Amino acid sequence: MVDPDESTRRAIRLALDGKEPAEIERAIEELAERTLRLAAPPLAQGEREPLAPGERERNGQSRLVGESPAMTELRATIARVAPHRSTVLIRGESGTGKELVAREIHEASGRAGRFVAVNCGAIPAPLLESELFGHKKGAFTDAVRDRTGLFEDADGGTLFLDEVGELPLPLQVKLLRAIQESEIRKVGDTATVRVDVRVVAATLRDLEAEVKAGRFREDLYYRLDVLQVMIAPLRHRTEDVPALVEAFASRHPDGAARFTGAAIDLLQRATWPGNVRELENTVERALVLAETHEIDAPFLATVLAPSSAPSEPAPDPAEELSIKRATRSLEADLIRRALEATGGNRTAAARLLEISHRALLYKIKEYGLGGRN
354 φ/ψ sector (left φ>0, alpha ψ -120 to 50, else beta): left
Spatial contact of 78 and 108, defined as CB atoms under 8 Å apart: yes
What does the pLDDT profile of the chain (373 residues) look like in tens digits?
A: 444 455 455 545 545 455 555 555 555 555 544 444 444 444 444 333 334 333 343 344 568 999 999 999 999 999 999 999 999 999 999 999 999 999 999 999 989 899 999 999 999 888 899 999 998 887 777 777 888 899 999 999 999 999 999 999 999 999 999 999 999 988 888 888 999 999 999 998 899 999 999 999 999 999 999 999 999 999 999 999 999 999 998 887 765 678 999 999 999 999 999 999 999 999 999 998 888 888 888 888 888 888 787 765 555 555 566 777 778 778 888 888 888 888 788 888 888 888 988 888 888 877 776 544 5
Residue 119: helix, strand or coil by DSSP?
Answer: strand
Runs of H (alpha helix) within the chain:
6-15, 21-39, 55-59, 69-81, 98-109, 125-133, 150-153, 169-181, 207-212, 218-224, 241-251, 261-269, 275-289, 297-303, 317-320, 323-341, 346-353, 357-367
Distances (CA, A) of 95 to 152, 231, 234: 28, 10, 9
Domains of the chain are 1-40 (no CATH), 42-230 (3.40.50.300), 235-303 (1.10.8.60), 319-367 (1.10.10)
User: Cα dihedral angle (278, 283, 287, 289), rounded to 10 degrees?
Assistant: 40
pTM (2 d.p.) = 0.66
Q: Which helix (H) or strand (E) holds 91?
A: strand 88-91
Distances (CA, A) of 52 to 49, 99, 295: 10, 16, 36
